[in-house]
Chain A
Amino acid sequence: MSKIIEGLYYSESHEYVKVEGNIGFIGISDYAQHELGDVVYVDMPEVDDEVSAGEEFGAVESVKAASDLISPVSGTVVEINEALEDEPGLVNKDSYENWIIKVELSDESELEKLMNAEAYKAFIGE
């Protein structure tokens, strides 16, 4: 049973957005980290890079798999989680605590197209 947190927005490619003000914390869901296995590398964009909803902004790699990170929202990267550079396994420990990038949202209406916790739960069939 994967952990799903109420109040977050989820995408079909298993990223989540946690919104605080106009800042979105983007990471991968607990379900996604479990499917991937031991994460050995997180490829992240640079601060000030632009991301767009539905477009790739990096990748998460395990030993035998790799998954592109698709941004659920558009905006400007204001921070990346540098802790993941040294310890990518943090994503496995708690993928919600260990977000990947922080984005200043340029279009908050995009959030409406994402799933809430309940819908995401149904989406992954749990």
Chain B
Amino acid sequence: MNNVYYGKLIFELSKEGRRGYTLPKNELAQYNIEDLPAHLMREQAPALPEVDELTVVRHYTNMSNNNFGVDTGFYPLGSCTMKYNPKINEEMSSLPAFTGLHPLQDVSTVQGALEVYYNLQTSLAEISGLSEFTLNPYAGAHGELTGLMVMKSYHMSRNDDKRTKVIIPDSAHGTNPASAAVCGFDIVVVKSRPDGTVDVEDLRPLLDDSIAGMMMTNPNTLGIFEHNIAEIAELVHEAGGLMYYDGANLNPMLGMCRPGDLGFDIMHINLHKTFSTPHGGGGPGDGPVGVREGLEQFLPCPRVVLDENYELKIEFNDESLGSVSGFLGNFGVIMRAYSYILTLGKENLRMVGPLATLNANYVKESLKDCYELPIEGVCKHEFVFDGLKDKSTGVTTLDVAKRLLDYGYHAPTIYFPLLFHQALMIEPTENESKETLDGFIEVMRKIATEASENPELVKGAPHNTPVRRLDDTLAALKPVVTYAELAQAE
């Protein structure tokens, strides 16, 4: 990454008549597309750029130089698990023996691909303590939706159709209630106690036969383990509901605890968090969903199953909730996650959780004298500060975040969770060295000093980035979302 703003759009590099491709000559030109009925054909050509190949290469290379990735530097974005994305995984996922497969080609010719899918399924089941997995959902939110569909299918299969509500803690990520709403559930909010964990006394009266289940993230969005989880699961189960585990924070559990052993019935995993597949600027990820024994039949189709002759089959079954994807998920992402699990093996996978947790606690303990730590005690893989300790300077969490960019760090997650006004959520992963963390700690302390001594410097940050603070209001007030609109406005 460099700090010189590139800022051009490919449309602005276009010159009529240039081209960036070659295609074979048409040997069959007697079959002419212009013989198709004119009224079915496009009248107005799309205004796409006309550029040569080198221009395209330089354009996107220059653009990438204005971007910050995990390979650039420390990326402590809370709740996103920005771990290192090993290069071997990229190499494996781009093997032509896999990338060239059509998803509908004969099952006998894709046994290798199915083997990868099946083995990852069973590996995830072992890691999570659940019985069966589907890898079809494309992302975490998609996994949530799929998991809730399993929950609903289970109750419907028992003709228990009055269970219309899902309980969600107030500390949950907004995706939980949004997924429940898309799945047609009503949402009941359960309160947190001051330490951020679910208030069991608030939960009790909410439980009745209208409850389909409860969604939980554990450790929760504050990085705190829900130590009452066994009791909560028992209460929900007694009321006839199912427990859903949002795998957003699975990383610190690796090697230590399994959601299935904590009493959860359904869960999703973010392969792009816990299993190191690259975030790709927002996607593609993959959101496998696992279930306890007795719920397998509801998982979405297609399913990969091993038949009695030890051959892998692609199956559709009637009890299934239906389909949530065209085919078998983001297969390229599945390849990477499998490569990661093979590379680490059981010896190293078990170290992921403890080391991620150690890193988080080390940063927390090293900074809690200058940043407000609302919840004392050991955290798991992440923790939340409620802004600077000294609130008198007027320097906000946003300012601290922006100042970090000046020092070459990605900012933590800010203003989430909503339980604190100045939330600053930090998640260093297991891949970061003590030296990296010490560097970050030093800069965070320096920013705290700057906030007292020269608050305007922090409030005006960033100063050393390709661009300075952006006008969010202007963007939302008069949305300009295409080049055509932009060209008109300019």
Binding site for B on A (CB under 8 A): 38, 40-41, 61-64, 88-89
**Interface flags, B467-478, vs A, CB<8A=1, else 0:** 000001100110
User: B331 to nearest A CB, angstroms?
Assistant: 37
- Residues of the B chain whose Cβ atoms lie less than 8 Å from the Cβ of A38: 473, 477
Cα distance A49–B240 when bound, in Å?
41
Query: Could you list 16 examples of A-B contacts with CB < 8 Å?
Result: A38-B473, A38-B477, A40-B473, A40-B476, A40-B477, A41-B476, A41-B477, A61-B476, A62-B476, A63-B472, A63-B473, A63-B476, A64-B415, A64-B472, A88-B477, A89-B477
- Residues of the A chain whose Cβ atoms lie less than 8 Å from the Cβ of B472: 63-64
User: B471 to nearest A CB, angstroms?
Assistant: 10
Binding site for A on B (CB under 8 A): 415, 472-473, 476-477
Cα distance A41–B476 when bound, in Å?
8
- Residues of the A chain whose Cβ atoms lie less than 8 Å from the Cβ of B473: 38, 40, 63
- Residues of the A chain whose Cβ atoms lie less than 8 Å from the Cβ of B477: 38, 40-41, 88-89
Q: Is the interface of A mostly helix, strand, loop or mixed?
A: loop
- Residues of the A chain whose Cβ atoms lie less than 8 Å from the Cβ of B415: 64
Cα distance A89–B478 when bound, in Å?
12
What would 7 more interface pairs be, CB under 8 Å, given A38-B477, A41-B476, A63-B473? A40-B473, A41-B477, A62-B476, A63-B472, A63-B476, A64-B472, A88-B477
B471 (CB) vs chain A CBs: closest residue: A63
B476 (CB) vs chain A CBs: closest residue: A40
- Residues of the B chain whose Cβ atoms lie less than 8 Å from the Cβ of A41: 476-477
User: B269 to nearest A CB, angstroms?
Assistant: 30
Cα distance A63–B469 when bound, in Å?
14
Cα distance A101–B473 when bound, in Å?
24
User: B56 to nearest A CB, angstroms?
Assistant: 34
Cα distance A62–B473 when bound, in Å?
8
B472 (CB) vs chain A CBs: closest residue: A63
Cα distance A89–B473 when bound, in Å?
10
A88 (CB) vs chain B CBs: closest residue: B477
User: B352 to nearest A CB, angstroms?
Assistant: 34
Cα distance A64–B418 when bound, in Å?
12
Cα distance A38–B472 when bound, in Å?
10
A89 (CB) vs chain B CBs: closest residue: B477
User: B414 to nearest A CB, angstroms?
Assistant: 11
Cα distance A61–B477 when bound, in Å?
10
Cα distance A62–B472 when bound, in Å?
10
User: B416 to nearest A CB, angstroms?
Assistant: 11
Q: Which of B415, B472, B477 has most A Cβ within 10 Å? A: B477
Q: Nearest 6 CB-CB pairs, A to B?
A: A40-B476, A63-B472, A40-B477, A38-B473, A63-B476, A63-B473
User: A34 to nearest B CB, angstroms?
Assistant: 15
Cα distance A64–B415 when bound, in Å?
10
Cα distance A40–B476 when bound, in Å?
6
User: B424 to nearest A CB, angstroms?
Assistant: 16
User: A86 to nearest B CB, angstroms?
Assistant: 10
Cα distance A40–B477 when bound, in Å?
5
Cα distance A40–B474 when bound, in Å?
8
User: B459 to nearest A CB, angstroms?
Assistant: 17
Cα distance A41–B415 when bound, in Å?
22
